[in-house]
Chain A
Amino acid sequence: MTRLIRPAAVALCATALLGGSARIQMATAAQEGKSSTAPAGNAENGKQLFMKNGCYQCHGREGQGSVVTGPRIAPDPLPFEVISGYIRKPTGEMPPYTEKVLSDKDLADIYAYLQSRPHPPTAKAAPLLK
């Protein structure tokens, strides 16, 4: 919750745009020929780091994302180089995480955690959404 919010005018559509644009920007970078080789990481430690470093605040504890705060980043995260590059020097609304506050090793562990997230059932399998 919040005491100071952006007005409703921004709300639904603007945040959808922002969340979406971050993922689009990252995806665009991926298409520009960057490799998808991720360093080995510890998913269990990555989970702790994901919470400790506040990644969950915008992206959810499972990396599921929100149209209000940040895009979905798991499962099937974008290539490691794309995500790590964006985290260090974001071009959208995301705050920067420098190596001083999040080492490359920690980043690799977080990435391993994102990769470990299970795929969801399809919407068709969920009668509640009908």
Chain B
Amino acid sequence: MAKSKKIPAGRRDFLKSVAAGAAALAAPVAALPATPAPPAEEPLSRSLPLLPPDIESDPPPEPEVLNIGRSGSDFMVDILKSLGIEYVCSVAGSSFRALHESVINYGGNSNPEFISCCHEESSVAMSHGYAKIEGKPLCIFAHGTVGLQHASMAIYNAYCDRVPVYIVIGNNLDATKRDSAYGEWAHSVQDAAAMVRDYVKWDDTPISLTHFGESAVRAYKIAMTPPMAPVLLVADSELQEKPIPEDAALHIPKYTPAAVPQGDSGSVAEAARLLVQAQNPLIVVDRYARTQKAVDLLVELAETLQAPVIDQAGRMNFPTHHPLNQSSRRGAVVANADVIMGLEATDFWSALNTMHDQVNRTSRPIMKSDAKLISITMGDLYTKANYQDFYRFVSVDLAMAADPEATLPSLIEETKRQLTADRKQALQARGTKLAAAHQAALEQARNDAMYAWDASPISTGRLCAEIWAQIKDEDWSLVSILRHFSWWPLRLWPFDKQYQYIGTQGGGGIGYNAPASVGAALANRKHGRFSVSIQDDGDLLFAPAVLWTAAHHRIPLLSVMHNNRAYHEEMMHVQRMANRHNRGIDRAHIGTAFEDPTMDFAKIAEGMGVYAEGPITDPNELAAALKRAVAVVKRGEPALLDVVTQPR
């Protein structure tokens, strides 16, 4: 067997030569060059080569090349610039060292700027949070193997949350070029995207720069077309590092955003008819609003119909203090509704039913059995099989596989056209009742917040009120999940701008909140907004070094710890099981509580270069501490307050 051959050309040329060789093999024997008869003593294997001579034999010595001009990675950076990508979040890695260097030198480390991360999960979650503020992705660089494995859970979160994430991973596909000294064998993979293919919308492994250019723009377009989702490109190391041939005719493909589908006119007219004729229509929204325009359109539709809105809080969809916001009255308004329309209602079923978590899990509908259901969702156009984030099937009466934001203008127009004067009068009476119920619910929330006002550990209602008092005059943006915080801000604060709340992690994967809040704050920085996050303790423990990233890059963010010193929901789950088995719950803290010793998050943050105070256990110390932290953030730096809190 002949020795392996060093191929001086790029991988593209190598592939071409292999193809040529394969073609020669496939040709009839008569077409092969005549082979002289071997001497009798020569081994048979040398007289009948399995591959053409140009493949089998060693190449001529390759002259050492020490310097080159532009390399493929420079072109890749040109592509990223053409897409308007502002940042690259990355943990440095050898399989994309050329891309790294091209960003910081060839690209001038500006648009994109390299953001130093300490965990690939943080890189992706930062992108997740950034995209929900900015409406577009930044870029992530990662190793094709170990880096992508670290990133995987965060990619899944973004996929479930319908958020565009743009990932470029390095790989060494050509086995003859892998250097064991750099660990390149273990860092190489045949099909790098395979492990995340279930939860990315598209991936590709380009084998030429022209191919990379087209796939890079295609990937961006796919990620940005609703339903938005992560995409992944594999940038082969050799493709990154080889010089761009002088005669290369490279060009950057043009990116044109795709217009998204609207509901057809017949369906829109029928939806309007059902809503106008309904005695008690209801609108349910979850991941609906991508822009402020979407919020404004929903307000217009709700006011036109005087219809209540339930915001399932996947985004900031509808102003919290609007009289038609009935989110805290779900049971009453669902039970009363005769027409219910879901707009990107990801889990529409759970808005209309309850599930009972006892030994035998049972469910029951809340809605009337004859209520008509309408859905407008892009989810009908894109569903995968393996991961089950599509939720329980809902039998709707009218389904539009369309983008709700794009459909609402025509739905509003048609609704107004169908409304008669008599009908408008009836709607106003309905609206008056709903406004009164909204006001009562708001007063109830304010009264509820007063319970345990002076308690230590500090009540979540008190903490929410204290934060509000310090940020209410800022152009604020709440960049954290709220479920574990009893949803207090959505109950008490007046949200009316789309960027004021970014929803949840999507897939329920913990470790999202800290990096996503830093990413969202990075996006808010250029707009001069004040970013605030209510940070769960357990979440921060997954990858706390994102605090260093915030400090290093001067990302202004106020993180207020909701430090209940436990994986508290898990503690409740264990308690439920112990109760079920009649065993008492005095051991439910095992494996769930952060005690003996407790953790000092202020010291952790200080160790990362972040201004921090705490642990704060006296509610009367909150105001002053918050004032000091707000001042730090307004100087353009991150700050963290460790507040020891009630469980929920």
Contact = CB atoms under 8 A, between A and B. Distances in A.
B585 A100 contact: no
B647 A13 contact: no
Interface in B506-546: 508-510, 536-539
Contact of B572 (A17, A58, A97): A58
A69 B571 CA distance: 12
Interface of A: 1-14, 16-18, 20-21, 52-54, 56-58, 60-62, 64-69, 72, 93, 95-98, 100-101, 120-123, 126-129
B585 A120 contact: no
Interface in B83-110: none
Contact of B313 (A8, A127, A129): A8
A120 B510 CA distance: 34
A127 B585 CA distance: 40
26 contacts: A1-B536, A2-B569, A4-B570, A8-B312, A8-B347, A9-B345, A9-B346, A12-B311, A12-B313, A14-B354, A16-B330, A17-B331, A17-B366, A54-B572, A57-B568, A60-B646, A61-B646, A64-B451, A64-B459, A93-B357, A95-B580, A97-B579, A101-B579, A120-B451, A121-B450, A123-B447
A73 to B, nearest CB: 10
Contacts of A60: 451-452, 455, 459, 646-648
B620 interface: no
Interface string B443-482: 1001111111101010111000110110000000000000
B575 to A, nearest CB: 5
A121 B453 CA distance: 8
Nearest to A120: B450
Given A52-B586, A95-B580, A122 B447 contact: yes
Contacts of B357: 93
Given A17-B366, A68-B486, A126-B453, 6 more contacts: A62-B455, A72-B448, A98-B582, A101-B583, A101-B585, A126-B465
B487 A12 contact: yes
A36 B491 CA distance: 33
B508 A10 contact: no
A100 B350 CA distance: 35
Contacts of B568: 1-2, 57
Contacts of B564: 1
Nearest to B585: A54
A3 B567 contact: yes
B159 to A, nearest CB: 14
Contacts of B347: 7-10
B487 A95 contact: no
A52 B569 CA distance: 17
B599 interface: no
Nearest to A90: B358
A69 B582 CA distance: 21
A3 B570 contact: yes
Interface of B: 286, 310-314, 327-331, 345-348, 350-351, 354, 356-357, 366, 391, 443, 446-453, 455, 457, 459-461, 465-466, 468-469, 483-484, 486-487, 490-492, 503-504, 508-510, 536-539, 562, 564, 566-573, 575-576, 579-580, 582-586, 588, 646-648
Contacts of A121: 450, 453
Contacts of A95: 575-576, 579-580
A64 to B, nearest CB: 4
Given A13-B351, A64-B451, A57 B647 contact: yes
A53 B585 contact: yes
Contacts of B465: 126, 128-129
A5 B391 contact: no
B446 to A, nearest CB: 4
A113 B581 CA distance: 26
Contacts of B648: 58, 60, 66, 68-69
Contacts of B348: 9
Contact of A8 (B314, B330, B537, B567): B314
A69 B572 contact: yes
B307 to A, nearest CB: 16
Contact of B569 (A1, A54, A127): A1
Closest 5 CB pairs of A and B: A9-B347, A2-B569, A13-B330, A95-B579, A64-B451
Contacts of B571: 54, 57
Nearest to A53: B585
Contact of B310 (A13, A122, A128, A129): A13
Contacts of A11: 312-313, 483, 487, 504
B452 A8 contact: no
A123 B487 contact: no
